[in-house]
Amino acid sequence: MKKLLLTLVGAGALLGAVYASASPEDDRVATVNYYKHKFPDVKFKDYIYGSLALDADAKAQYDSIMEFPPFETVVEQGKKMWETPFKNGKKYADCFANGGKGAAAMYPMFDDKKGEVVIFDEALNACRVANGEQPYDVGDAKTMGVLLSYARTLSDGYKVNTKINGAAAVAAYEDGKKTFYSRAGQLNFSCANCHQVDAGVRLRSELLSPHLGHTTHWPVFRGGDNLVTLQNRYVGCHKTVRHVPDKPGSVRYKNLEYFESYISNGLEMHASVFRK
């Protein structure tokens, strides 16, 4: 009963923050405190594991699989893409500070000149275009997805560091928050229904993951070899609730990633991991 009351108190604090005139940082702090009450035995740093942080047996299986990942060849393909020079002789590493190490941890970011959120996928495409190459389709797992499977590992161990500065950036964040908390589709579900209110609840054979840490580990390999990017996962979630999805890389989905990333500030990145 005491645990239930603490959870309800945490939920009330969080909902009060997200529906009142709260700042992004107010939201983030309220979210962290909410999960402290909801899952008092889970350490903050472990939210990068999603629902695995709530199931010791599942986490042990994950650790075993990650010793010899069945998708290593795909990540190696991504590494080859990253290291292969463009026609002008330059490489992806030339487009980012520190050769791309830690770059993904800075995204999404708000581009004041464009007046919109830019995700890491788009930064990679901007690099391609700047070097005379055609951009990839953000939703194409065989091109952008494979490239991301390696490029994002260059930020493993770096902490999520999403910035929100200025009224336009705050507006984009608020739009992403609105998407997260708005019900949609024939099932009338919001992201928050599954990944906040019912986080930790078992749906069929799987535990629903908390949204804290959601953006830290993409792309994932579901079932061992099915590569899924975060933008494609948003599409899949909307389809699941029978809602007509946007295309990957839409303004709505970029703003949603911006919101979720800011909420996960301070957590370590760990890309290209196994998920069921």
Catalytic residues: 237
**Pairing state of beta strands 273-275 and 220-222?**
parallel
What is the rounded CA–CA span in Å between residue 171 and residue 179? 12
CA angle (63 as vertex; 197, 60 as ends), nearest 5:
65
Sign of CA dihedral 99, 213, 177, 17: negative
Please tell me the chain's helix, strand, coil percentages from 3-state DSSP, rounded to the nearest 5. 55, 10, 35
Helix (H) or strand (E) holding 83: helix 72-83
One-letter identity of residue 127:
C
Strand pairing category for 226-228 and 206-207: unpaired
